[in-house]
Structure 1
Amino acid sequence: MSNRTRHDVDVAVIGGGLAGVAAAIAAARNGGTVALVQDRPVLGGNSSSEVRVWVCGATATGHHRFARETGIIGELYVENEYRNPLGNPYYWDLVVLDAVKAEPRITLLLNTHITEVQMHGDRISSVGGIVLGSEGEVTVAAHTFVDATGDGSVAARAGARTRLGREASAAFGEDLAPEEEDELTLGSTLLFYTRKESEPVPFVPPAFAIDLAATTIPESRVLRTGDNGADYWWIEWGGELDIVADNERIRDELWAVIYGIWDHIKNSGRFPDAENLTLEWVGSVPGKREYRRIIGAHTMTQEDVVSATRKADAIGFGGWSIDLHPSKGVYEPRSAAQQIYPSGTYDIPFGILRSIDVGNLLMAGRNVSATHIAFGSLRVMATCAVMGEAAGTAAALCAASNWTPEELHDAHIRTLQRQLVRQDAALIGVQDDDPANLALQASVTATSELRWDQLDDPSSSLPLTDDTAFLIPRGQSGPVQVHLSCEEAATVSWAVFETPDGRTYFPEVPLDSGSIELPAGHAGWVALTDELPVGEGPEASTVIVLEAIPGVRWGSSGQYLFGAVSMTRRGTDHVDEIDAHLVADRPDDVVRWGIKKLSRVRLAMRCEGAVVGLEAANVVGGYGRPYGGPRMWSSRPRRDLVAGDPEILTLEWEREVQASEVRVVFNDDVNAYVNNLHYVRSEHRIPPEIVADFDLEAFVDGHWRTLGTVRDNRRRHRTVAFEPVATARIRLVCHRTNGSDLVQVGQVRVY
């Protein structure tokens, strides 16, 4: 009996990690029929319950400002916060699976291992494989293919050129690369979970467990009884082997390491609080970091990451550090990682997503075209998903218009970028200029706009034990005041800085400085300067810095002001686990100016008039997220949106337009760091700034007609489709947020 199936689709995505998931969803949402082929029983790749690695991305675990990804991975992040507040890895599996199953154009093929690739000239015509467990065989034919396997296995079978290992320093001018090329890679990882029982739990190690005392692990790695899961990201090995060919050997060695670590924790006598702990779960699928990298039209290098040069073909952004691990893994006696942070986010070009050899092959994830050094930043899963969404969108456009990826890249890159902007993908500094977006020709008014004098006075204060800074959008007007208190007389030194550019948010360019004399017992507002100076950087932000001084406190408030960032500078003698990974002679201000401890804290500073950067006109400014400022609209504070009048945002055209779709982008606070398995626990299941209840209305025949009504919204990006209507005015009527006292909208797009 034959057990063969065939699927003819527009787009075939091979690999069901987050890059593949995002690619498949994006292709389906853009009208393509899609086959998503995954060789495991679950989706999510290294983030799945089989491996359980945290999903990290451009925020670099919260160091970069306004850097959390939007688009499809952003949807998954926000939905996971709502469904999975405790970070259960199985619930994360469901979030990912549900997102795929919600797309009717996707045919999901789990447990399907691709073993062959059929070529027609330089194009893939189909792929074939086996369905594990059912003895089935499957063929998938498509117009465009996306290799999201991580290992680049489809590309390799198609004859595409690939790279493996580390390039020599001279090859791409990378001073972080070795002098001579080699085939060393980052290793693979297994993780484990622990659980506390009500009684002591013995542990008898297996014979194959390593003797931890005979290694350098106790001295070179951090062992704590409270840690588990991806806290042990450094359990890594195999970089000196072939990560794929030696996968079984690597798994066995990692098991030996895990059980050796657990034996040490349970039986060495150094961890008395481990007496009641037991192992709840141990991974069996090694999480691979690196293997083949497919050669594309562009190869991303160290310079692309650290210099953050703008790319005309940008399709997303990254920001994770260049994170290089020793090839010996746990057996390397020095630090488990070497991290070089870019000063801000950087562009990812489309050229690294298309194979230079195979005419209809795109790639996404950890197999894209990059050097080993640049790959050290690109490889994290949220960034892989950003590339996946771009690849899937591109694949659908290619299938619909019968383009090759090369033709799309050379002649239609703005079409791709405009579509990515339209769907709220993760792009920074790429402005919407789509002629189809009617909102770009509209004028905007609102029932209110936020003013400095409407913000709450401070309810608490922060001691100036470190240099402390407050970042605001440039262009604020009038005298500047800060709220300070002290018991003894003090002289507070201040300075005003500008940030380097529109995607870097720490003080760098000095503009002005001075000092404030505080009398003993002072508590209140004090003048800093008559007017904030403005530097030369058109997209830069302004940063006010108060130098550390004992006994002085800067007022603060829990009333959050999106677009402003509070931060403190840690001393150079500060040492923690992050510092141990930093490279001493590299800039690290993005890390030193820490924001994590002051998340959603607003330092007490005020100017005059409106808060620049939060005016109503920003919703048609073409930017979907912060870039040198928040670039959104905020209402005045609303203490009770349910009982009070709504806040209304109105778009008006000089003459009637024909509209059938409105897309609204709300504020889900991309400055807040979140994580799928909750390395950091969020205090909110739903971002409080997202508007929960709203109506969309058009002025037709002398009255307002309702086009759509949305209640209990928890999504950043909402699309309201309706029968075509001719109108010169459309308004968004906002009744309730998810907890914020400010109504905020990022973009309104009308088609």
Structure 2
Amino acid sequence: MIKESASEPRSLKIENLDSDLVVVGGGLSGLCAAIAAARNGLKVVLIQDRPVLGGNASSEVRLWVLGATSHGGNNNRWAREGGIINELLLENQFRNPGGNPVIFDSILQDWADREDNLTLLVNTVVFHCESSDNQIRKVHGFNSQNSTMYHVTGSLFADSSGDGILVHLSGAAYRMGAEQAEEFDEPMAPGEDYGKLLGHSLYFYSKDVGHPVDYVAPELALKDVPALIPRYRSFKTSEHGCSLWWIEWGGRLDTIHQSEEIKIELQKIVYGVWNYIKNSGEFPEARNLALEWVGTIPGKRESRRGEGAYMLTQKDIVQQIPYSDSVSHGGWSIDLHPADGIYGQEQGCNQYHAKGIYGIPFRCMYSQNIRNLFLNGRLLSASHVAFGSTRVMATSSAVGQAIGTAAAVCKKHNALPHELPDSELMHTLKNRLSADGHYVPNFDALSHDNLVTEAKITVSSEYRLTGFEHSGGWKPLNESYGQLLPVTNSGDHLITVPCIASEPTELTIEIRVAEKPSNHTPERVVAEHKHTLTSGEQQISIPLQGEFASQYQFVCFKKNPLVSIGLSQDFAAGILTVKQGGLEKVSTKAKQDAPEGLGVDSFEFWVPERRPKGQNIAFQSATSLHSFSKQSLTKGALRPTALPNVWMAKPSDPYPNITLEWDKPVTAKTLTLNLDCDYDHPLESVQYRHHDRVMPLLAHQIRCFVNGQLYRQIHDNRMGVIRIELNPEEPLEKLGLSLRNSQGAPVAVFGIRIDE
């Protein structure tokens, strides 16, 4: 029993914590920053003001995680963010095929709990910071659940809070709202009529319970939905959760200090919309639907943005400007929303895509005036227009990993963030990020400081691309359809493709390439072939252009409903098919028609179909188009870019293996394998049911041999990056890897890295 006598006023319990990095905000960007720093040896405190991790991706809000893949609805092939966010999404794909947001919560918690260097404080609100000499020294937080005050000191700080509480309290420069078009020469900058801020959204879930359910609306529910919501005809009983992202409001208000007022209005809208669906008589199919869940906190899109050493702008995204300090990437459209939201006459968003992904400079990731403060997640230094692309969670998560890793580089070398861009430490940062599976644009991830480059490499087999068997039925050309092919081997190549014509007709086939080799927008037609077809099954021959050996060629079969082409069930790493067309969630048309003077490009969308659709086109070639050789194991990117960049064993190879041998013994600490986890698939965290629980080309069984002895076995692998800690006390002369794929697809490896 505890019994306290009357006394003077009491103080709260106080805990003092010391760390190398303090991360304020436990959304995905903050979590990835904290994990990255902890894995790289820093003592980290992660302060989250909610009971769960994940922010807008958590079960409290339930927004899907997306980034550069853009639902697979643009031309950014193999663009999914790597590193820690990729681990989380691959694990979610396996554990949570139904897209349950509560299960995703548990995965995030598991990943945080694994890190011994990470101290997690949930339900803790930061309300004060102490600074000196333009550096933050300490933050103060309060946890209402355990009635404890936390005083947390650190060498470095990362504001991942979304609303920028640490940016605000520390005196860091920031912005809120849209710039004038003239400031950064951004034609997309909105005016007052459109609005300067993106609003909040509140989601709801419904469920078919198998019997009629009545609904009595609460008093706050919005009345007369058809009169107040111009787009009321867009509501469907088949959609709920973040599929109704356009239930948005608040862009005309202060999205920080008026957030509660915005939430109340959104609650009125949600309950009113559900009342309209259930009781208007317009939705008889809603008879058995029950309202299962309504969010209690809105998902925020925009508030403060930090000012860093550089501010990302519209041109950086559209022109894909490369910078020497680009350490992460983005690829979501420039996605701006009207401030009036659901009450406005405008469509819910205006999306304009670039022709490929863009790099994000490190200079956007730290404050221009607070010397030890990183700008993470929505706080990234970007104009309002550029923020329309960078704000999405997978992109923010990748930025978080870059920041957490940069913090480790700073700590190890006694540096501050602003000292990295113009020093050798930038190379150190890129190398470390690449080793951890994070994608750094335009960076050779394997050639530097890698013991594998000094070894003799032997592989059991190398796949040579000579065709795909006709084993997958027929594809009617109801839309134009294309096959991406790498044609790198010298000489003239002729492929033959099976087809069926229902009557005599002419089929047009175009060979296309992207203007920039690393893009996958097939904008340039380099050859056109017209084939006269007779009725019935036949073969057509297509010559391929040998002068484009440094990039993919698109073999495009133009729309002709009278013709079907043969398909294959064969897989190959870095090879896929696309169709010309839009995807409703991100582009309503098959072509982006940009208005004159808007500063964005017009081009066609050629997008993939999700498995089990999207099979490769059957073809045969007398010559090898491309060799998936062992040279890819030690150079290039760790994903397909301009070319596949991958070693792949022959499908007939029963026991694919790789052997590394050194002339002299070496000292090795860590082995990292980068496998093919299909970076083209978007892997949304909720709402989607993914066809595969494990990616088809992943090696599921891995055996590692050190100096001829079995050292480590991994079974049932589902991750794209495998790290094995070696014994530096044992000189390494020979290392062997035996790889198996239980799904029957060939084994593919993007690269091997061994660190001293």
TM-score range for the pair, normalised by the shorter chain length? over 0.9
State the Cα RMSD in Å. 2.2
The answer to whether the Cα contact below 8 Å between 2:230 and 2:345 also exists between their aligned partners in 1 is no
Alignment of 1:351-500 (within 5 A): 351-411=363-423, 412-432=425-445, 435-453=448-466, 455-476=468-489, 478-500=493-515
Whether 1:749 aligns to 2:753 is yes
| SS of equivalent to 2:379 | coil
What one-letter code is carried by the residue in structure 2 that aligns with 1:693?
Answer: Q
In 1, Cα distance between equivalents of 2:206 and 2:292? 5
**What is residue 313 of structure 1 aligned with on the other side?**
325
Match of 1:9 among 7, 19, 27: 19
Aligned partners of 2:592 and 2:603 also within 8 Å: no
1:663 paired residue number: 672
Aligned to 1:517: 532
Q: Is the 8 A contact 1:184 1:241 kept in 2?
A: no
Residue 147 of structure 1 is aligned with which of 159, 166, 172?
159
- The CA deviation string for residues 92-141 of structure 1, in whole angstroms up to 9 with x for no partner, is 00001100001010000000000001002100001002112222110110
Residue type of the alignment partner of 1:163: R
Cα 1:454–1:527 shift into 2, 3 Å: closer
Q: Any gaps of 5 or more consecutive residues in structure 1?
A: none
Aligned match of 1:719:
723
> How far apart are 1:218 and its partner, in Å?
5.3
Q: Give yes or no for contact 1:345–1:503 (8 Å, CA) kept in 2.
A: no
Alignment of 1:666-745 (within 5 A): 666-679=675-688, 681-698=689-706, 700=707, 704-724=708-728, 725-734=730-739, 736-745=740-749
CA deviation vs aligned residue, 1:525-555 (integer Å, no higher than 9, x gap): 33212x43424xx743111112222321111
Note if contact 1:565-1:595 (Cα within 8 Å) is conserved in structure 2.
Answer: no
Q: Does 2:539 align with 1:528?
A: no
What SS class does the counterpart of residue 118 from structure 1 fall into? strand
Aligned pairs for 1:55-66 within 5 A: 55-63=65-73, 64-66=76-78
Amino acid at match of 1:750: I
Question: How far has the Cα of 1:502 moved from its partner?
Answer: 3.6
The 1-side partners of 2:78 and 2:519 are apart by 9
Whole-Å Cα distance in 2 between the matches of residues 74 and 363 of structure 1? 21
Tell me the amino acid that sits aligned with residue 80 of structure 1: N
Deviation, 1:515, is: 2.0
Q: Could you tell me how far apart the structure 1 residues matched to 2:273 and 2:586 are?
A: 19
Greater displacement, 163-172 / 504-513: 504-513
Change (3 A) 1:595 1:291: same
Mark the CA change 1:375 to 1:740 in structure 2 (over 3 Å): closer, same or farther. Answer: farther
Q: Is this contact kept in 2: 1:220–1:334, CA < 8 A?
A: no
1:45 aligns with 2:64: no
Distance 1:325 1:417 in 2: 34
C-alpha distance 548-182 of structure 1, shift in aligned 2 (>3 A): closer
Offset, 1:215: 3.4
**Compared with structure 1, are the counterparts of its residues 15 and 583 closer, same or farther at alpha carbon in structure 2 (3 Å cutoff)?**
farther
Q: Which residue of the other structure, out of 594, 610, 619, is the alignment partner of 1:605?
A: 619
Structure 2 unaligned regions, length at least 5: 1-10
Cα distance change, pair 597–174 in 1 and its aligned pair in 2 (3 A): farther
Aligned to 2:6: none
Moved more, 710-719 or 300-309: 710-719
How far apart, CA to CA, are the structure 2 residues paired with 1:438 and 1:426?
20
Q: Which amino acid aligns with 1:731?
A: G
The match for 1:628 is 642
Structure 1 distance, partners of 2:613, 2:328, is 25
Question: How many residues of Structure 1 are paired with residues of Structure 2 in the alignment?
Answer: 734
Q: Does 1:546 align with 2:560?
A: no
Change (3 A) 1:566 1:307: same
Q: Is the 8 A contact 2:700 2:741 kept in 1?
A: yes
- 1:193 is displaced (CA, Å) by 0.4
Deviations 1:402-449 (A, max 9, x none): 210011233211111111011111323311266421112334332111
Amino acid at match of 2:498: H
Q: Which residue of structure 2 lines up, in the alignment, with residue 505 of structure 1?
A: 520
Distance 1:660 1:575 in 2: 48
Distance 2:118 2:407 in 1: 14
Distance 2:114 2:205 in 1: 31
CA contact under 8 A between 2:457 and 2:630: conserved in structure 1? Answer: yes
What is the DSSP-based 3-state SS (H/G/I as helix, E as strand, rest coil) of the residue aligned with 1:553? strand
Q: Give deviations 1:654-707, integer Å, cap 9, x for gaps.
A: 54433232111111111122111143x211111121111121224x4xxx2223
Contact in 2 for aligned 1:555/1:603 (Cα 8 Å): yes
| Structure 1 residues 654 and 485: alpha-carbon distance in aligned structure 2, compared to 1, 3 A threshold | farther
Matches within 5 A, 1:63-212: 63=73, 64-178=76-190, 184-212=196-224
SS in structure 1 of the partner of residue 660 of structure 2: strand
Residues 1:212 and 1:394: Cα distance change in structure 2 (over 3 Å): farther
* 8 Å Cα contact 1:512/1:533 also seen in 2: no
Give the TM-score normalised by the residue count of structure 2. 0.93
Which has the larger displacement, 39-48 or 401-410? Answer: 401-410
Give the partner amino acid of 2:474.
S
1:562 corresponds to: 573
SS at match of 1:377: helix
- Change in Cα spacing, 1:171 to 1:539, as seen in structure 2 (3 Å) is farther
CA distance in 1, matches of 2:195, 2:47: 29
Distance 2:187 2:487 in 1: 36
Moved more, 24-33 or 501-510: 501-510
Distance in 2 between residues matched to 1:310 and 1:410, nearest whole Å: 15
Please, which of 636, 646, 651 is the counterpart of residue 637 of structure 1?
651
Shift of 1:487: 3.5
CA–CA distance in 2 between the matches of 1:323 and 1:678? 21
Deviation at 1:605, TM superposition (A): 2.7
Q: Which residue is 2:3 aligned to?
A: none
Give secondary structure in 1 for the equivalent of 2:536.
Answer: coil
1:482-535 CA distance string (max 9 Å, x none): 222224233222221112224321312222222223333233x33212x43424
Distance verdict in 2 for CA 1:598–1:333, change over 3 Å = farther
Amino acid at match of 1:557: S
Q: Tell me the distance in 2 between the aligned counterparts of 1:532 and 1:548.
A: 22
Q: Do the aligned partners of 2:500 and 2:537 also contact (CA within 8 Å) in 1? A: yes
Letter in 1 for 2:239: D
Instruction: Give distance in 2, aligned partners of 1:154 and 1:181.
Output: 32
Query: Quick check: 1:613–1:629 contact (8 Å CA) kept in 2?
Result: no
> Does the residue aligned with 2:509 lie in a helix, a strand or coil?
strand
In the TM superposition, what whole-angstrom CA distance separates every residue of 1:356-398 from its partner, at most 9, and x where no partner exists? 0101001110111000000000000010100000011111221
CA distance in 2, matches of 1:636, 1:404: 48
C-alpha deviation, 1:460, in angstroms: 0.7
Counterpart residue identity of residue 461, structure 1? W
- Residue 609 of structure 1: how far off its partner (Å): 4.3
